[in-house]
Structure 1
């Protein structure tokens, strides 16, 4: 018996199609002395729906769901790893439970919990402190959130970044007027007009409004913005859009692209005398 395990099989299917899955499900027909069993590990529980009908019929599968780790389970994992990573007495008693609770609440992911504890330790070490405290974990949470947003932005195509910058710009403008971040939102039409301005300044041709809404949907899917459908009565329905990430995180992510970093350069205001001479 040969067992093939494919981790993140859903990403494989989305990126390269299902031909590999089809080949593996049919390979037993040509094997004489052995048999193959396939284990697919996926984050998207509905990825099977993406498969071709022929592949689904060959893939006689049984679905096993693994729920996210709870705080108690994450705490056990962290205590086990902390024995290897930290000297005894370095971690304050509340650090591991706090890391576990924060990770379970947001993700239920052991990798996130371990990253959080590691980052908290690095912050304490960098500050020259002899103990890792709860405050270091809070700083680590902010840093990991920022890193996640920045990495997500780096993967975006140019027009995805242009849509995000347009929303960032509108959000920042409203915040400067004294409006609370949580209350700031815009519509698809308003955001598209701002996006057109961004494309003009970048010197790139804009996409159609239909393609623009695809980018909005994708940014919503990866958590950089929130979009919901709202009824406008006799005017029909529209999407209400708001930034989902801290504006400073979005700014750092966009600045990492040289094409967009120029949009953040503050140009000095010309004096009347400078304007006069520049017009000669």
Structure 2
């Protein structure tokens, strides 16, 4: 097929009406099954309409439970109602995962000149205070996936943002922190924790029926009539419901299945397309999860990977993993964590499906945990090889 034919096929798609409506950053005009959360957040932020600083909000829930969509939806409505006297800036802390980058994003929104790198944090904060004063109004700073920032860089930025109002006279700042890590607050200084947690909002997972309804609504906006039937939507919803009610995953699968059907020139999305989409996404998810792991977690996974690769017939126990991990840590000149922490890390890797861990009996020798890689080895290689240290020192990838 020529490039011209590919472009023509896409322009004359049998599948899509408006592909954008299935993308993860699209916020629809209606957010079904989140009425309670919308009302609660609206009540918290409503004082901004009269010029009063709203309370800071800490929002948490599992991935794909609508936290970001609801936050953007409510803020958009308030900004419209306040005729732009209330503003907000959305910053994703996975993409902007250093203190400097987060503050630089806020500076850019305010029209404050901050170079990509090079300034001391104190100087950036000073410029921001001046920029906020010139802003003259209420600004809500949304820090999505804020746990990525704090675990990597500490809570200096949060401390600054939750205390900056003491230095302002003509502007007011509120902070919304969003995370899917329920233990995130353990990383915060007590003063930051109390300031950020003035209000807390919990998002429960969606169930299969709710996911199916959301998919049907989005399909009506994004896909042409008759392209997807109820059985396909039910299947996608069921897959996502088993993954902690992850709506983002459901939409990703439907979008990927639609893309596959479109490339094949099909006029309907079938369950085969869904299976292909699921396989592609699960592979990408494993690699992405590994790439974003902390170094010690990567070292534990690297230990399991190397033991699997070099001793395929040998049973991999927690004892062997700990010995290998200490060896790798020593090569890096790092102080190893305790064996108890290694056990916790193994459990975490098991929960996300990167490894499989099971306890077996050794008779009079007691019980032990046996570990195996739970995803294709090439995915583990790809994820670990993104870390140049691991790739160079341990021959991974």
- TM-score for both structures, normalised by structure 1: 0.69
Q: Say if 1:167 and 1:242, in contact at 8 Å, map to a contact too.
A: no
Unaligned runs of 5+ in 2: 1-52, 54-137
Question: Counterparts of 1:43 and 1:154 in 2: how far apart (Å)?
Answer: 18
CA contact (8 A) 1:154 1:253 kept: no
Task: Tell me the CA shift for residue 92 of structure 1.
Answer: 3.1
- Counterpart secondary structure, 1:15: helix
Are the counterparts in 2 of residues 48 and 56 from structure 1 also a CA contact under 8 Å? yes
Aligned to 1:28: 165
Q: Which residue of 1 is the match for residue 101 of structure 2?
A: none
Change (3 A) 1:215 1:121: farther
The unaligned stretches of length 5 or more in structure 1 are 175-184, 265-280
Q: Give yes or no for contact 2:300–2:321 (8 Å, CA) kept in 1.
A: no
Give the root-mean-square deviation of aligned CA atoms: 3.9
Instruction: Say which SS state the counterpart of residue 108 (structure 1) adopts.
Output: coil
d(CA) in 1 for partners of 2:182, 2:292: 24
The Cα of 1:211 is off from its aligned counterpart by: 4.5
User: In 2, distance between residues paired with 1:153 and 1:58?
Assistant: 32
Shift of 1:88: 1.5
- Aligned to 1:139, the other structure's residue is in SS state helix
| Other-structure match for 2:317 | 187
Question: Residues of 2 paired with 1:4 and 1:209: CA distance?
Answer: 37
Contact 1:120/1:136 (<8 A) preserved: yes
Match of 1:4 in 2: 141
Task: Classify 1:196/1:6 alpha carbon distance in 2 versus 1 (closer, same or farther; 3 Å).
Answer: closer
Q: Which of 140, 159, 165 matches 2:305? A: 165
Aligned residue for 1:119? 256
CA contact (8 A) 1:150 1:250 kept: no
State the Cα distance separating 1:190 from its structure 2 match: 3.1
Distance 1:226 1:149 in 2: 14
Q: Which has the higher contact order (CA 8 A, sep 6+)?
A: 2
CA distance in 1, matches of 2:243, 2:395: 34
Is 1:245 matched up with 2:374? yes
Q: Which moved more, 1:188-197 or 1:67-76?
A: 188-197
Q: Secondary structure at the match of 1:89?
A: coil
8 Å CA contact retained: 2:205, 2:246: yes
Deviations 1:90-134 (A, max 9, x none): 223311121112111213222111110112123333444332111
Offset from partner CA, 1:130-151 (integer Å, 9 cap, x none)? 3211122122222211111123
Say whether the 8 Å CA contact 1:217–1:227 is kept in structure 2.
no
Separation in structure 2 between the aligned mates of residue 142 and residue 167 of structure 1, nearest angstrom = 26
1:38-80 CA distance string (max 9 Å, x none) = 2211112232222112323444522211101222222222122
Structure number with bigger Rg: 1
Q: Deviations over 1:221-264 (max 9, x none)?
A: 243224578898997886x1423523xx2324415739499779
Report matched runs for 1:1-280 at 5 Å. 1=53, 2=138, 3-59=140-196, 61-155=198-292, 159-160=299-300, 162-169=302-309, 172-173=312-313, 186-191=316-321, 205=331, 210-211=336-337, 213=339, 217-218=344-345, 220-222=347-349, 223=352, 224-227=354-357, 240-243=369-372, 245-246=374-375, 249-254=376-381, 257=385, 259=391
Q: CA contact under 8 A between 2:308 and 2:316: conserved in structure 1?
A: no
SS at match of 1:146: helix
CA contact (8 A) 1:123 1:140 kept: yes
Could you tell me whether the CA contact under 8 Å between 1:149 and 1:250 is conserved in 2?
no
Q: Contact conserved, 1:225 with 1:241, CA < 8 A, in 2?
A: no
